[in-house]
Amino acid sequence: MAVTIMISGLHLTIAELVVVLASAVLVLARWLPPAARRRTAAGAAAVAIAGAAGTLPGTRWQILLVLGADLLVGAAAAGVWLLDRRAGRSGRRTRWWLALPGSLLCAALVVGGTVAAWALPVPSFPRLSGPSAVGTTVLQWTDPARDEPATPDPADRRTVVVQLWYPAGKVAREAPRAQYLGRTRREADTVAAAVAGYLGAPGLLFDGPTRSRSHAVPGAAPAAGRFPVVLFSPGLGGVRTQNTAWAEDLASRGYLVAGVDHPYDSAAVVLADGRTVGTRIAAGGDPDEDDRRRISWATVRAADLSFVLTQLGRLDSGAAAGTFTGRLDTGHAAVTGHSLGGAAAMRAAARDQRFLAVINLDGGVTSDQLPLRQPVLVLTHQVRDQADAGYVARVTRVLDGGRGPGYRLSVPGSAHLSFTDAPLYLPPVPALVGSLGRSESVRMTTATSAAFLDATLSGHATGLPATLAEYGDLSVRGSAAAR
């Protein structure tokens, strides 16, 4: 695994840094005095070649841009040499006004590749804040009692893919870490391409994430004790791994987190038999029709979440095979989600009282949302316009109608994707990922979620309102507002 270093916020391996610096020297060598020019260029070219070899296999496209500058410099030098040989001359130097455009182009490639590496890095997951190592495993379950609503065949049963992150026993430092976005690099590439296609974005945006590994150790033995359970539903078109940093940090603090892929909704779900199921849902543009669709999608997801909780109970009891017998405290379970997944989490909690707490990460509510009895935490992005204010008002009405305490935390400097892994690898554009910073966004989401879960599932007296208020503008609603 390549060693990643940080220099002025850049995410480059040592070999990549060598390529960048050597290429910059090579481009500038043309403008040195003749006595130093050739020697400097030859040395820089040799170093760049050695660095490029160190980036193999699978050189990042950003570094290919930088190497493109080297190829142009080499091609120009070779062209001048050939012309000199044919003319019987040697040591001729191209006129500066002819060389300048080429040098500027090469410099642009070096700078552009370096900036692209900074803007679209291989994500580096923040250090875990809890005392436990983290294990992970992926399971697939089929519900024999439910039809698959997205297919016409009445024999099709609803199937979900679930990834568990959990406290692990002692793991070796050199133990292989989990591939991000999938069980294998191939699955990660499939998922990344599907997410990019769903968003209408170039696949290059997700080149970094497919090269990353998180903290979790696949198949690690669970730690001793019993773990409260936290279920997670991703956003519309999202995937189970979109909040990996958050899930792993909660697992290091003693929780088991179960991220759910919802087939025909998630951008891509790779099944155990190798088939890939793509999304079949999208907003249509008509407000009334889209509202009906959201209710339908959230209803399916809510049933998925209840089914997963049942399956986790079977794992704990030993009715289903696995290494989690006696480890899962499904009597202390929370349901969570981002965006549409947040709406699905609230819907699941309204219908399934086994969920004792709800976290909605910048998600809305369906128009037919039932009152909630459970404590609810809703994290919302910063209110910037009338549409945001309307969204907050709808969420507030639901919290006011709840029978349990409701906490709405509006986080300054945040955007919709601040509550996911996206700040770790997307360009730091405030409208896209907020302005909290790559790691600080994840830490904010984790710290607030953990404080809420500690108070509602684990019974720890944490001074919850004061803790939440450290991260933004807190509104306390429902029964908690009357205290």
Over the stretch 195-245, which tens digit does the pLDDT of each residue have?
999 999 999 999 999 999 999 999 999 999 999 999 999 999 999 999 999
CA distance 138 to 147: 23
Of 79-88, 153-162, 282-291, 374-383, where does mean pLDDT reach its minimum? 79-88
Q: In the beta sheet, which residues pair with residue 360?
A: 337, 378
What is the pLDDT, as a whole number, of residue 163?
98
Tokens (6 digits) for 28? 């500038």
Average pLDDT over residues 370-395: 90
Name every residue whose Cβ is closer than 8 Å to that of residue 128 and which is 6 or more positions away in sequence. 134, 215, 248, 249, 252
Taking 90 as the threshold, does the pLDDT of residue 298 lie above it? Answer: yes
What is the pLDDT, as a whole number, of residue 1?
42
What is the pLDDT, as a whole number, of residue 453?
97
Rounded to a whole number of angstroms, the distance between the first and last alpha carbons of the chain is: 53
Q: Domains, the chain, ranges and CATH?
A: 4-119 (no CATH), 133-481 (3.40.50.1820)
What is the pLDDT, as a whole number, of residue 87?
66
Taking 90 as the threshold, does the pLDDT of residue 478 lie above it? Answer: no
CA-CA distances (angstroms) from residue 269 to 118, 137, 138, 164, 199?
A: 30, 15, 12, 16, 16
pLDDT tens digits, residue range 11-42?
888 999 999 999 999 999 988 988 888 899 99
Taking 80 as the threshold, does the pLDDT of residue 106 lie above it? Answer: yes
**Is residue 472 a contact partner of residue 412, using CB atoms and an 8 Å limit?**
yes
What is the pLDDT, as a whole number, of residue 197?
94
pLDDT tens digits, residue range 427-460?
999 999 999 999 999 999 999 999 999 999 988 7
Taking 50 as the threshold, does the pLDDT of residue 6 lie above it? Answer: no
- Written as one letter, the residue type at 175 is A
Identify the three-state secondary structure at position 380: strand
**Is residue 143 a contact partner of residue 157, using CB atoms and an 8 Å limit?**
yes
Taking 80 as the threshold, does the pLDDT of residue 4 lie above it? Answer: no
CA distance 316 to 312: 6
What is the pLDDT, as a whole number, of residue 202?
92
**Is residue 301 a contact partner of residue 262, using CB atoms and an 8 Å limit?**
yes
What is the pLDDT, as a whole number, of residue 8?
46
Task: Give the 3-state secondary structure of 200-246.
Answer: CCCHHHHHHHHCCECCCEECCCECCCCEEEEEEECCCCCCHHHHHHH
CA distance 67 to 353: 58
